[in-house]
Structure 1
Amino acid sequence: MTDLAMPSTLRLGLSRGALELKTFIREREAVAFTFAVPIILMVIFGTIFKGRVEGTNVDFRQYFAAGIIASGIASTTFISLGVGIAQERDDGTLKRLYGTPMPPSAYFIGKTISALVLSTAETVILFVLGGVMFGLRPPSTPERWFTLVWVFVAGVTVCTLLGIAVSSVPRSGRGAAAVLNVPYLVLQFISGVYFTFSSLPSGVQQAGALFPLKWICQGLRSALLPDTLLPAEPAHAWEHGRIALVLAAWGVAGFALCLTTFRWKRRDDG
């Protein structure tokens, strides 16, 4: 008898991705937190904020909507992956998977597919809501569509890598949500999600510019909002080259952190 060939890593990764999505959908609390929170924030703050971005004719609610979409990408990747992987390590799931013939890379492919699908779904939901409530419009040119796609893909990639990397930070799965939501909430306030970035104090701007969320927000604004917003941007330009450079640097750093910090076992397992 001949040995049965193992499925390819890609095929296993795709199967793992489908399983991840099914598991996520069955966990109603996770679905509600991941999708409902950005939607609720968009509705609440969208009814509070009024007027135009200072020095422009752009509705501030459209500026805010673009930031919430970027924040939603981070929620479905950085937070969901970081918390989910920490919990899987805590309950022994990772240890059991590591002991199977499945290549470790298939596990990460599955996580990446899940993050991409969920991020796409949330982005579509938030965009539609922003269009209905605030008049947010699709990109007006092929170039802006291209910008939207590459910023979205780069943002999902970076936040996915960072979510996998930081999953080793919490000491237990129970505390993972609390540990990871603190930096996530801080970054929202210093990255131009809730406030016009140029209106923040200079020191806060410099701190926010060190992290990828600020650049994802700026990239999405460049795709979804008119050039009449440029006077409100700190550099008075969209800085696509700098956005790509910063996100690429964070992608490399995130990948390196994944290789050096990821653990399949709990700390007390030795």
Structure 2
Amino acid sequence: MNLNLKGKKVLITGGSRGIGKGIASAFVEEGAKVGIAARDSSELLQTKDELGTQIYQKDLSNYDNREKLIEEFTNQFNGIDILVNNMGASHGNLVINTPPSKFSEALELNFVAAVHLSQLAARHMMDRGSGVIINIASIYGKEAGGAPSYNASKAALISFTKSFSSEAIKDNVRVVGIAPGAVYHPNKVWKRRLELDPDFLDNYASKRIPGGRLGTPGEIGNVAVFLASEKASWIVGTTVTVDGGQSRMNF
């Protein structure tokens, strides 16, 4: 399928590893012009070498850094066509043991940063009369399962996706989302679990995922490029679940 994304200007936050890197790779394969933002300089440089992306080392929990990122990207690329809000982290564990400050941290990075970047990017898109914003949420924004602070922030992001989509579509800017289930990539969390139990992934998948395995970053990337394309022109405000059947929602 020709998605007609060649030459599109795409900014992906949290794009140096895992799901973000998988999304960046999918856009590069489609011929898009891709920039990625993240905090870790070594991971950014490695991804640049592998994919040929532009890189921006930014801590996006900081308000000023978000403004600088959009300014730098739009100046370098002469605009922005697609924004993928993928940055995020999990904070705390049980509600009773998680200080309110950890909820604030989760909301700032997983939700407020995405809202702010969406506002900044949308102004450019609206001026040009087109654009797509994709918010990477989680199935745990739709149902219980992860750390409560993470769940709350992703639920807020899903709600924001719907709310903002109703405004932005009037200027031909589509706001949509993706809710991944468990996706394997060799980060610290998965590595620690495998060190404790080499069969962890197989056991996790057999118990929780009808598809029988964890997802891959590339599978999330495939959905992202479709949603960013004109093939998905009538998908507005929806957060698409991509999880191999893991979630237990009826809707």
Query: Which has the larger share of helix?
Result: 1
TM-score normalised by length of structure 2: 0.30
Structure with bigger gyration radius: 1
Query: Which has the larger share of strand?
Result: 2
TM-score normalised by length of structure 1: 0.29
Higher relative contact order (CA 8 A, sep 6+): 1
